[in-house]
Chains A and B, each alone.
Chain A
Amino acid sequence: MVVSARITNFLAYSSLTVSRVSHLGNGSLRYQWLLSRNTSLLQLRSKIQTAVPSITSNVSVPKENIPTADALVRPDLEGLYEDIREGLTNTQPELRQIAQYYFNGEGKAIRPVITMCMARAINYHLDQNAPGVIQKQKKIAQIAEMIHTASLVHDDVIDVADSRRSRPSVNILWGQKKSIIAGDFILAMASGMLARLQNQQVIILLSQVLADLVQGEFMQLGARENKDERFAHYSEKTFKKTASLIAYSCQAVSVLSGADSTLQSIAFQYGRQLGMAFQLVDDLLDFIATSAQVGKPVAADLRLGLATAPVLFAAQKFSELNPLIMRRFQEPGDAETAFRLVLRSDGLQRTKELARQYCNDAVTQVAQLTPSPYQQALVTLAHQLLHRMK
């Protein structure tokens, strides 16, 4: 059973390669980068398969006083949210209010933190005497956060949410129609900022994120009939919905510092692996956190009809989950049954394991960068992510 777990993980991991190549849409330029990127990924795949999961970086990790990534780049991110809000002021008062609503600085800001750390680590790697962060790289962090937030606004309407970050969601306060339009507005402002960075490649990278975000949402709508395809489908959807933005933001900041394609690939891969791990941890916590709360027995994802990694793993042990997955847990008692079966299975354990593998791979990527506090911070981010699972 250990063997089959390894194979599933392997398939889950490698499906990412396959799906990335097969979903190359328009743009031959992008095709070529991805091709070069995929070969390096293929080399890494075997390392994951045979090695005992462990950190393979050659950077020593001092036990005490490691500054968190957050603390390290806080000066760079000073005023990030103010700047974003500033960029959204030039419009009608009500639109301004809605657009600025989620930029109150209370989110985790994980994307800007990762982006800035990567920017500094790459800049240092290229030139140890270089200034810390180029202004344009900070703009990427802003743009990434705006794209992310615009997608949150639309998600709240799509999911008929009523709250976010302990406050009423935008659709509750202003209605669905205005919320959607506000989301478009944020996106438009982000695109304008992107254009003013005067870099063609960066525009191509970040507009691909937009396409991926939408496609990820569509993928979430459809369930795969064939249960063998389900994990690959979930992995690809996870890349598009979560990892894509982080990966392309990392690549974009590396482009701005003049990185060649190898270095860009490192940045992209780190972002991608960390992004995948991030979502897996989220999916895991959706089960663990819920079971710790009294009176809230069912995970939010199940209620939305979504079969995430823990459920998909559990279904390999309890095949009675398959019809429930197909009908998206719609029938009364479905979500509760699924929840129970997940906890009884090794689904959570295997999800942790997979997240760990992604994190390890992310660390292996940035181990190739010149050691610096920022490069270290990227390693620490991966550790912190794994720590969330405890």
Chain B
Amino acid sequence: MVPRSCLIRWKTRHLGSSIHPAVSFSRSLFASSQVYQTSWVQAVSNAEKVVGFPTSFLSLRSVANDEISNIAVYLKKLIGTGHPLITTAKNLVYSNDKTHQTRGLLVLLMSKAAKRESGQDILPEQRTLAEITELVHTAHLIHTGVINLNTPNANLEMGNKMAVLCGDFFLAHSCVQLATLQNLKVVELIAQAISDYSTAEFIDIIASENDSALDRWSQQMTLRYGSLIAHACQSTLILGNNVELIESGKSFGLEIALAWQANIEIQSFKSNANRADHVLSKLFPETPFVDVVANFQAVRDRHVNAALKLLTAFPQNDASLALGNIARALKC
């Protein structure tokens, strides 16, 4: 039996090889690049057991219909072109590794962590919300994988076309699902998250007179990743009627998102051959490698600690413990 960590390392290397150069490195689509973190994987795997293995989760097959099967035909033509859509699609269709659906998992854990009585289970609406969170995130990934083409290129144009349509499909499906939750506030919150990740694409990480480059990075990451997780946590607490925990849950979502993203940047920076182009080099210019890593680890750890502190407001149970483990795993 091959150790799981080795299998995961192989899988990531295999999937990570075909990104189009137009997609900038620091926006890598995976939780980490070549070197995978066993402790993170472990924490997440254990957490899945707490919420009973999210089997209702998104996979392309589960939402497939006649029209979607057309995509498969077009996607085949894209193989070898390096369009980012290929990689995203591979993940969705073939991945059995649930770590790629961590956002949904976080929502489920938050739902369960807030339950004060041990008999209470995660509501169907909360499970739907977890799925919606993954759908929106996937749509985001797919749409930000659209490439700017200045010269005609039939294959990449087709790739863009597919990317637009698939992303739109997931967004539309999210909206329809959102409507079934019968909660207007939740619709508003998730709509805000979509608006935020769109705005994030237009923020430059350049220091201005009011903000340091690091501030700008935080703003951008808050909008791009933090908003969705924070609003999803907030929404699931609304659905679960855990009013007193809403603020803590929302803030926890934001802190964990920032810590997670900071960790992704650190891991990719460490393993990247071309460091000069990496976002961390821009955040800490003219700083030796070791110091850059240390500085950013400090940033990451601040967010992890903030998240852990917020968790203390929640009842002590398997789910809140699992959330704590996931947060702590980011520190490694």
Contacts and interface: CB of A to CB of B under 8 A. Distances in A.
Contact of B199 (A175, A185, A208): A185
B67 A203 contact: no
A181 B160 CA distance: 13
A222 B144 CA distance: 25
B194 A180 contact: no
A89 B172 CA distance: 24
Contacts of A198: 184
Given A177-B146, A182-B198, A188-B191, A218 B165 contact: yes
A180 B164 contact: yes
Contacts of A42: none
A291 interface: no
A211 B143 contact: no
Contacts of A211: 172-173, 175-176
A195 to B, nearest CB: 4
Interface string B111-152: 000000000000000000000000000010001101111001
A188 B176 contact: no
B93 to A, nearest CB: 17
A26 B165 contact: no
Interface residues of B, number: 47
Contact of A94 (B164, B185, B202): B202
B195 interface: yes
> Main SS of chain B's interface residues?
helix
A187 interface: yes
Nearest to A204: B179
Contacts of A160: 152, 157
Interface in B258-274: none
> Main SS of chain A's interface residues?
helix
A207 B165 contact: no
Contacts of A189: 191, 195
Nearest to A93: B202
Interface in A39-56: none
A176 B153 CA distance: 13
A93 B168 CA distance: 24
B278 to A, nearest CB: 21
B168 A154 contact: yes
A210 B201 contact: no
Q: In the complex, which of the residues B143, B182, B195 has the most CB atoms of chain A within 10 Å of its own CB atom? A: B195
B68 interface: yes
A181 to B, nearest CB: 5
Interface string B185-226: 101101110110111011100000000000000000000000
Given A93-B202, A194-B191, 11 more contacts: A154-B168, A157-B164, A176-B160, A181-B202, A184-B197, A188-B198, A191-B190, A203-B179, A210-B171, A211-B173, A214-B165
11 contacts: A175-B148, A178-B201, A181-B202, A185-B198, A189-B195, A191-B175, A195-B184, A210-B172, A211-B175, A213-B172, A218-B70
